[in-house]
Amino acid sequence: MNTLTDFLRSNPLAVAAPVFIMCVITFAAFAADKLKAINGSRRISERTLLSLCFLFGALGGLLAMYLVRHKTRKAKFYCLVPLFLVLQTILVCAVYI
């Protein structure tokens, strides 16, 4: 085994804390973009929102899509965000299993 995998297995917060923080940031970005859409002000780009989802914020993005009802009609969001979540889950499970 390599030392990074050993470290992550012995310190689950080393993975959980950054993922949680990214999910909160992503949720906040989706919510802020929804408010900006309502107010007609400058929006957060779709590329930025998808990038946040890709960088371990997919759970926050998915929750925001349905709780805030934002970007639920965009095909690239309702396809890519769940896909990112599945890939992130597989990656995290691969470290711990």
Question: Is the pLDDT score of 12 beyond 90?
Answer: no
In sequence order, which residues have a C-beta less than 8 Å from that of residue 44 and are 6 or more positions away?
A: 29, 32, 33, 36
83-88: average pLDDT: 97
pTM > 0.85: yes
Q: Average model confidence (pLDDT) for the chain?
A: 93
Quote the distance between the C-alpha of residue 3 and its chain's center: 27
Domain boundaries along the sequence of the chain: 3-96
Give dist(CA 41, CA 55) in Å, integer. Answer: 26
Can you read off the two tokens belonging to residue 12?
Answer: 């689950």
Q: How confident is the model at residue 97 (pLDDT cuts 50, 70, 90)?
A: confident
pLDDT digits (tens, 9 = 90+) for 15-71: 889 999 999 999 999 999 999 999 999 999 999 999 999 999 999 999 999 999 999
